[in-house]
């Protein structure tokens, strides 16, 4: 059974602090890794699609790294703001079989 | 606004009933995905259609079925509804390669009483 694990499950961070969390996925048959941001009462929105080992992507204060050999990706948020409060989901794409395998998400709460 | 539309926004029905959820993908997107999010659960992939044909199947119950029409809109049919089917149902659309971003609709909140 393929499993995508995200840790921690939830995270409380003080406004202004930087933080990071992890997505672990099977290291074999890797095709792509997706990161999504899901705010309460809204729909998930794509952040990054990562395909190459060593990939680093950045969007504003949010960045992500990818290690396909060991099967993990980190998402970093620099200088957290209240609007960063959301659940961050990763999804693993194996061998382009069209079905993403989703992690349960890391719920990030920014304390003002 | 992702460009993906879903109707209805809310649906309240009784056990044993049948409902149809509708999704219109973004203009130009050929793939449609259906997901279920139950209380305190993550996103569960149900099924994917590409240009009218079923492409991938996830944990979709036999009581559920879906189709994608020639105009690319999709419908998810849920029958013999049970209390446990109460959930938020999302539709997403994307282009033709799996590395394409999936764009999610606003969801349909189904409540089975």
pLDDT digits (tens, 9 = 90+) for B67-113: 999 999 999 999 999 999 999 999 999 987 667 889 999 999 999 99
**∠ Cα A99 A101 A105 (to 5°):** 140
Is A46–B107 a contact, with Cβ atoms under 8 angstroms apart? no
Instruction: Give the tens place of pLDDT for each residue, B8-47.
Output: 999 999 999 999 999 999 999 999 999 999 877 778 899 9
* A68 pLDDT above the threshold of 90: yes
Residues of B with CB under 8 A from a CB of A: 2, 31, 41-45, 48, 50, 55-56, 58, 90, 92, 97-107
Strand partners, A59: A62
CA A86 from chain centre, in angstroms, equals 11
Q: Are B1 and B54 in contact (CB under 8 A)?
A: no
Of A31, A32, A43, the CB nearest to B104: A43
Judged against a pLDDT cut of 70, whether residue A19 lies above it is answered with yes
Select from A43, A50, A52, A105 the residue whose CB has the most chain B CBs within 10 Å, as the one to mutate to test that interface: A43
| C-alpha distance across the termini of chain B, in Å | 31
């Amino acid at each position: 059974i393929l499993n995508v694990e995200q840790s921690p499950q939830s995270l409380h961070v003080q406004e202004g602090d930087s933080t990071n969390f992890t997505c672990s996925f099977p290291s074999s048959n890797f095709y792509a890794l997706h990161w999504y941001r899901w705010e309460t009462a809204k729909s998930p929105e794509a952040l990054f699609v990562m395909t190459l080992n060593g990939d680093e992507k950045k969007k504003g204060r949010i960045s992500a790294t990818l290690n396909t050999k060991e099967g993990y990706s980190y998402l970093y948020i620099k200088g957290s703001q209240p609007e960063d409060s959301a659940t961050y989901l990763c999804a693993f794409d194996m061998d382009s079989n069209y079905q993403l395998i989703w992690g349960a998400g890391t719920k990030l709460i920014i304390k003002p | 606004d992702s460009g993906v539309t879903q109707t209805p926004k809310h649906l309240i029905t009784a056990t044993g009933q049948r409902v149809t959820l509708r999704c219109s993908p973004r203009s130009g997107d050929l793939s449609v995905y259906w997901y279920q999010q139950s209380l305190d659960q993550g996103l569960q992939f149900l099924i994917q259609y590409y240009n009218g044909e079923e492409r991938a199947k996830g944990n979709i119950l036999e009581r559920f079925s879906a189709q994608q029409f020639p105009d690319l809109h999709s419908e998810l049919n849920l029958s013999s509804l049970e209390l446990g089917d109460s959930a938020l149902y999302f539709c997403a659309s994307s282009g033709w390669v799996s590395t394409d971003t999936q764009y999610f609709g606003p969801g349909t909140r189904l409540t089975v009483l």
